[in-house]
């Protein structure tokens, strides 16, 4: 029997049970029905410090992610990411971009690059894409407007790229802040479930 696809979702919403988390849950539930192993991490539950730009993690060459001097949950999170075949990266759009906590996470991904002092720019330690990613975003504005004026998907796609994941689908939920506890529309649920099945269907690219 094939080993199941291992899917890890990383959620950057500030609200448990909000639109983003419920959309991610739909994706994971449908992937699980297809036999995938799924896990969801909410960044708010983790201790993630700001990158201090010391660049210790970028100094040593090699394919291993650089080791951060900060003693928090980022190292363990990276190990979970390494074990995953596929990622779901999710964030509401706040002030036109990903949430601050998602941005902290993305900045900490500098360890995926080799960037010694003296080099003009970082170089990916592992160029290429061996994982797949689905990106999920939400906004108060209609999705089409939010996509035009904000950069949530661009930022999440960048994070996926740093983690060696090719983006194979996106879900952008507009008009997501009309009610305090807003329901997902049937259309959104259908799309989320379809994306979950897609992620579960292929182990690697
Ligand atoms: C501080 C803050 C800033 C926000 N900025 C925007 C924004 O720039 N554009 C927008 O369409 N919605 C904005 N929103 C609305 C959120 O995107 C919306 O509430 C969120 O997508 C719902 O996701 P959640 O249920 O997972 O919290 C903002 C919300 C907050 C709290």
Q: For ligand 1, what atom is nearest to the CA of residue 141? A: 11
Q: Is residue 204 over pLDDT 60?
A: no
| Per-residue pLDDT at 16 | 94
Mean pLDDT computed over every residue of the chain: 95
Separation of CA 94 and ligand 1 centre (Å): 5
Residue 123 to residue 107: CA distance in whole angstroms: 15
Q: Is residue 7 over pLDDT 60?
A: yes
Share of the chain above pLDDT 90, in %: 91
> Which residue from 171, 95, 176 is spatially nearest to 140, judged by alpha carbons?
176
Average pLDDT for 36-56: 98
Which tokens is 137 given? 């975003």
Are 110 and 122 in contact by the 8 Å Cβ rule? The answer is yes
Instruction: Kindly report the length of the chain.
Output: 205
| Per-residue pLDDT at 205 | 42
Residue whose CA is closest, atom 29 of ligand 1?
Answer: 94
Residues in Cβ contact with 40 at an 8 Å cutoff, skipping those fewer than 6 apart: 8, 9, 11, 21, 24, 25, 28
Are 112 and 126 in contact by the 8 Å Cβ rule? The answer is yes
Best of 93, 152, 171, 181 for a ligand 1 pocket test (most atoms within 8 Å of beta carbon): 93
The beta-carbon contacts of 125-130 under 8 Å, at least 24 apart in sequence, are 125/62, 125/63, 125/64, 125/65, 125/66, 126/63, 126/164, 128/164, 129/161, 129/164, 129/165, 129/166, 129/205, 130/164, 130/165, 130/204, 130/205
| Per-residue pLDDT at 1 | 56
State the distance between the two ends of the chain, measured CA to CA, in whole angstroms. 19
Average pLDDT for 70-95: 97
Residue whose CA is closest, atom 30 of ligand 1?
Answer: 94
Separation of CA 58 and ligand 1 centre (Å): 33
Q: Which domains does the chain have, with CATH numbers?
A: 6-201 (3.40.50.360)
| Per-residue pLDDT at 89 | 98
| Per-residue pLDDT at 203 | 55
Q: Write out pLDDT tens, residues 110-137.
A: 999 999 999 999 999 988 888 999 999 9
Q: Is residue 177 over pLDDT 70?
A: yes
Q: How confident is the model at residue 174 (pLDDT cuts 50, 70, 90)?
A: very high
175 phi, psi to nearest 5 deg: 50, 45
Q: How confident is the model at residue 71 (pLDDT cuts 50, 70, 90)?
A: very high
Q: What residues are in contact with ligand 1 under a 6 Å CB criterion? A: 13-15, 18-21, 92-96, 138-141, 146, 176-177
């Amino acid at each position: 029997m094939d080993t199941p696809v291992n899917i890890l979702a990383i959620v950057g919403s500030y609200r448990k049970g909000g639109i983003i988390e419920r959309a991610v849950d739909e994706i994971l539930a449908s992937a699980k029905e297809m036999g995938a192993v799924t896990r969801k991490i909410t960044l708010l539950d983790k201790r993630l410090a700001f990158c201090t730009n010391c660049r210790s993690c970028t100094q040593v060459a090699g394919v291993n992610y650089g080791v951060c001097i900060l003693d928090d949950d980022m190292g363990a999170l990276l190990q979970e990411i390494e074990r995953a075949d596929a990622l779901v990266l999710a964030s509401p759009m706040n002030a036109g971009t990903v949430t601050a906590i998602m941005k902290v996470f993305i900045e900490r991904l500098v360890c995926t690059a080799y960037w010694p002092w003296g080099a003009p720019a970082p170089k990916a330690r592992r160029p290429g894409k061996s994982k797949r990613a689905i990106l999920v975003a939400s906004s108060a504005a209609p999705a089409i407007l939010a996509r035009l004026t904000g950069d949530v998907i661009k930022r999440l796609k960048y994070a996926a790229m740093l983690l060696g994941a090719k983006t194979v689908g996106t879900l952008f939920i507009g008009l997501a802040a009309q009610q305090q506890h807003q329901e997902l529309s049937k259309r959104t649920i259908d799309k989320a479930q379809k994306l979950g099945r897609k992620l579960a269907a292929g182990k690697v690219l």
